[in-house]
Amino acid sequence: MKQKLSFFFLLLAVGIANAQVEEKKLDELVQNTLKTFDVPGMSVGIIKDGKVIYSKGFGVRSLTTKQPMDENTLVGIASNSKGFTCTALAILADEGKLDWDDKVSKYIPEFQMYDPYVSQNVTIKDLVTHRAGLGLGQGDLMFFPEGGNLTVNDIVHNVRYLKPENPFRTTLDYNNIMFIVAGEVIHRVSGLSWAEFIEQRIMKPVGMTSSFGSYNRAKAVANKIDAHAPVDGKAIAVPHDWNETGNAAGGILSNIKDMTTWAEFLLNNFTTKDGKKLVSDKNVHQLWSLQIPDAVAAKNPYDTSFYGYGMGWFLSDVKGHKQIQHTGGLIGTVTQFTLIPDMKLGIVVLTNQQSGAAFSTVTNTVKDSYLGIADRNWLKTYDDRMKKMEAEFDKQKKEAFAKLETFRKDKNLQPKAEQFVGTYGDKWFGDVEISQQGNAYRIFCKNSPRLKGELLPFSNNSFIIKWDDRSYDADAYIIFDYDETGKAQSARLKPISDVTDFSFDFDDLDLRRK
């Protein structure tokens, strides 16, 4: 779809009163963004005053097939699915089938958390506001990366073993597991799977005709991305990363055409094109009201004075305007969804590489144009920032492996197989096998079969785990705790670099020898 941008956008962007020229400038920005951050493909949509004024795909949807990315190309929107989960709950609340303040145990009697008091008092609202006490990404290894064996019921059960990092209802700690539990509430109340409910009760009436509630439901569609991740400094195609167990936290596949339709629906007060209001004003207010605040930097580019989470969306103010926003990230793809309701503005960016700098460059440039802010060259800002961060990450990794090489030279200091080889168990994650294969040591996670790799001696009681799948960029230390006989009785993990995604929540594992 090639449409002219609004005159308002033209004037504020660079003051050029020619829609064709201005559209070309935005096209050029996207193309330069792809090149700068090594992103194979991106689609961008802008909606203003109820009209889609920009909807395009750029680059290729796959480095393997070289087929172009267009406005119809499906992308895993990841955590932008959380807004759908909360909309589904709001629909059920309007129908009188649940209340936000209902205890989770009312619908999932077997559900327990680590603390008995929290188990008895945690509500549906607590699940979807990131305030139940679990830490950032805590428990994500139960469904991340793709290919795990645990079911939704397993995850619901295993939550009881996750020791909270913070007191109940005190802090915003982004957590996917609680959304999986919320999805199970929707299933038990409605009788539909989460994906079925989203497709039938939200996507269909909204007019999202090409979208799917889960990756498996879109297998027959050819026009969808391959995921891409940087390996050795260059983006390559990697396997799609999503487990069906995590759908309520991030399972939707959509495209820029449907996501601008979703934005139009939300900006129209949750009302479809044929005039049907899916969520009451009372519950719209709940969804878009600050439920749990978070800190705001003293100096920030949009003079933001408040920031936090509503239900399914992050809320903040930008230059005096309320902003509704969320991002989504999987291995090999990231997305961003932004609404400024009082300006009737929506900006959507979908990508097939995991560069948040890429979507932020485009979103902020477009947003600034509508806010009347002169060009701040976000492309250069994020490029400089990423180069600095990547240099620090590379330094951390190089220092770790340099120390490893020094230690490997002295065989007498290295741990002996009989000290640590064996099976270790974690209550919520399951069994981890440490084995010897010839002269090498291997690690294999039974409930996450793709999480496997080589153990490289690092000290007299630790190794670096070098994962077989190099797209993870999540190598970790494994540290064994020995008893008085010199035999390991437990083990813990931690990433070797800050580049590691928070969903690799290695720090939360408590592995005990079996």
CATH number assigned to the domain comprising residue 412: 2.40.128.50
Residue 346 lies in a domain: yes
pLDDT range class, residue 243, cuts 50, 70, 90: confident
365 plus 434 within the same structural domain: no
Is residue 365 located within the same domain as residue 449?
Answer: no
Instruction: Give the HSE-up count for residue 434: Cα atoms under 13 Å, Cβ half-sphere.
Output: 29
- Domain range for residue 351? 7-376
| Structural domain includes residue 387 | no
CA distance 314 to 292: 10
382 is a domain residue: no
- pTM score of the predicted model: 0.94
Alpha carbon distance 108, 182 (integer Å): 10
Write down which residue in 376, 407, 426 finishes a domain. Answer: 376
Is there a domain that residue 100 lies in? yes
Least-confidence region, from 191-205, 272-286, 403-417, 489-503:
403-417
Instruction: Give domain status of residue 1, yes or no.
Output: no
Tell me: do 444 and 479 sit in the same domain. Answer: yes
Is the pLDDT at 8 greater than 80, yes or no? no
Averaged over 336-348, what is the pLDDT?
97
In-domain check, residue 422:
yes
User: What is the average pLDDT score of the chain?
Assistant: 94
SS3 415: coil
Please give the biggest Cα pair distance in the chain. 79
Does residue 342 share a domain with residue 306?
Answer: yes
CATH code where residue 204 lies:
3.40.710.10
Q: What is the pLDDT of residue 471?
A: 92
For residue range 363-394, what is the model confidence (pLDDT) as tens digits?
999 999 999 999 999 999 999 999 999 999 99
**Based on the domain organization, do 207 and 243 belong to the same domain?**
yes
User: Residue 404 has what pLDDT?
Assistant: 86
Q: What is the pLDDT of residue 242?
A: 75
User: 7 pLDDT band (50/70/90 cuts)?
Assistant: very low
Is residue 18 pLDDT above 90, yes or no? no
Dihedral pair phi/psi, residue 209, rounded to 5°: -75, -15
Write down which residue in 345, 376, 407 finishes a domain. Answer: 376
Q: What is the pLDDT of residue 14?
A: 39
Q: Is the pLDDT of residue 475 over 70?
A: yes
354 and 412, same domain (yes or no): no
Confidence at residue 17, expressed as pLDDT on a 0 to 100 scale: 36
Give the pLDDT score at 240.
Answer: 81
Q: Are 36 and 110 part of one and the same domain? A: yes
State whether residue 371 is helix, strand or coil.
helix
pLDDT at 239: 82
Question: Tokens in use for 465?
Answer: 């785990």
- Determine, yes or no, domain membership for 179: yes
C-alpha distances in Å from residue 368, one per residue of 324, 340, 377, 396, 420? 16, 12, 10, 35, 56
Domain boundary among 376, 411, 437: 376
* Res 492 pLDDT > 80: yes
Domain count, the chain: 2
What would the mean pLDDT of 294-305 be, rounded to a whole number? 95
pLDDT bin (cut points 50, 70, 90) of residue 450 is very high
Q: What is the pLDDT of residue 3?
A: 39
Q: Say what the pLDDT of residue 20 is.
A: 52
